[in-house]
């Protein structure tokens, strides 16, 4: 049996832990929330850590050293939103380090990235944007070989769509105090198929209801895109109640999804489930799973400075057949990727057995 040290919250319980609850594998795992249990009572020799050290503070390397002394194998599933240099400090203490998205060029892990994100570093260098409260700084002194040890697992694309906040919050409480299996009874499930991608009821041109975040470099992409589209009546912006938000998604022809704290966003998959075309800043710098980011096939990339945002919007609003093709491809690609979840978990488990 494998011990899974997990921090239950909505992302872990309803998204990133999805493969752990597969009927094929869930009996392999013992889920715990207590570090003390791991250090003093656990008799298993393999530890998985799920979404641990997910805040903006340095990881507790003292704890990692104690866990390293206790377990024969430690597998760390990084809970950070972005592909970046977060938590690379744990590499010496773990056998495997997995992330929901990884750089296409592993040499990026050896760079001293501002805010530990490639896109934040871009806005810092190109536009002179600085963070009022920068994240902790940890220089990356990795060798090329160590940089290649950051491996791909799966993203928030798995799990519960659409995301209804109230039942998810109740589910998290049940998971923390009773059982994660019981907590997951509050999930919505992914059974709804989008209505006709070309439905005439799609009366909203571009859904773009995005907000800003507290980090200036992380928020800057959204800020410039909101400035570019300001006053353009085709773009629906601002905040609305959750029910209206989901209703509008299904009425949208295009859904614009800029980066948030990370590149892979819930809105990306909300677009797929709504049957709309995904318009998003270029994702070619990373690999992820589920991969719905095939340029001009499953989504339309725009430049990180937003300079072609209106041009791409104009083209795909006018070219209905092409827009519908891409939206449909996105749905079909997502369904194809979902069918490989068990296979992906199998490969990870087999690689651990071989250690």
Q: DSSP code of 2?
A: E
Residue 120 pLDDT grade (very low, low, confident, very high; cuts 50, 70, 90): very high
Separation in Å, CA 45 to CA 71, 129, 345, 353: 5, 46, 19, 12
The predicted model scores a pTM of 0.94
Predicted confidence at residue 190, as pLDDT, reads 66
| For residue 154, cis peptide bond before it (omega within 30 degrees of 0) | no
Residue 188 pLDDT grade (very low, low, confident, very high; cuts 50, 70, 90): confident
Separation in Å, CA 283 to CA 102, 192, 264, 296, 303: 11, 27, 9, 12, 10
Predicted confidence at residue 193, as pLDDT, reads 76
Q: Domains plus CATH for the chain?
A: 2-131+142-158+341-353 (3.40.50), 190-338 (3.40.50.2000)
| Residue 5 DSSP SS3 | strand
Q: What is the mean pLDDT of the chain?
A: 94
Token pair of 189 as six digits: 């499930």
* 350 CB-contact burial (10 Å; exposed 0-12 / middle 13-18 / buried 19+): exposed
Separation in Å, CA 10 to CA 15, 78, 304: 8, 16, 29
Token pair of 19 as six digits: 């493969």
85 within 8 A of 142, measured Cβ to Cβ: no
């Amino acid at each position: 049996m494998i011990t899974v040290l997990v921090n239950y919250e909505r992302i872990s319980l309803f998204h990133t832990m999805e493969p752990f609850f597969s009927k094929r594998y869930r009996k392999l795992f013992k889920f715990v929330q207590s570090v003390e249990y791991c250090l003093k009572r656990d008799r298993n020799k393999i530890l998985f850590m799920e979404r641990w050290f997910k805040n903006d503070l340095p990881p507790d390397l003292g704890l990692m050293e104690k866990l390293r002394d206790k377990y024969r194998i430690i597998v760390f599933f990084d809970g950070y939103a972005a592909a970046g240099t977060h938590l690379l400090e744990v590499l010496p203490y773990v056998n495997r380090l997995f992330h929901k998205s990884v750089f296409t060029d592993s040499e990026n892990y050896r760079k001293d990235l501002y805010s530990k994100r490639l896109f934040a570093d871009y806005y810092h260098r190109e536009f002179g944007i600085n963070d009022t409260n920068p994240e902790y700084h940890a220089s990356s002194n990795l060798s090329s070989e160590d940089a290649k040890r950051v491996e791909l697992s799966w993203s928030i694309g798995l799990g519960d769509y659409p995301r209804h906040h109230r039942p998810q919050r109740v589910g998290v409480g049940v998971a923390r105090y009773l059982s994660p299996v019981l907590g997951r009874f509050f999930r919505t499930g992914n059974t709804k198929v989008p209505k006709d991608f070309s439905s005439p009821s799609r009366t909203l041109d571009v859904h773009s209801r995005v907000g800003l975040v507290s980090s200036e470099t992380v928020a800057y992409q959204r800020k410039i895109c909101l400035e570019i589209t300001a006053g353009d009546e085709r773009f629906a912006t601002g905040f609305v109640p959750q029910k209206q938000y989901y209703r509008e998604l299904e009425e949208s022809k295009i859904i614009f999804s800029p980066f948030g704290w990370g590149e892979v966003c819930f809105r990306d998959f909300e677009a797929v489930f709504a049957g709309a075309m995904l318009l998003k800043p270029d994702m070619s710098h990373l690999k992820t799973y589920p991969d719905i980011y095939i340029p001009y096939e499953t989504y339309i990339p725009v430049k990180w400075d937003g300079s072609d945002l209106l041009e791409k919007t104009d083209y795909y609003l006018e070219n209905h057949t092409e827009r519908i093709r891409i939206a449909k491809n996105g749905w079909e690609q997502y369904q194809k990727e979902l069918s490989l979840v068990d296979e992906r978990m199998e490969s990870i488990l087999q690689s651990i057995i071989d250690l």
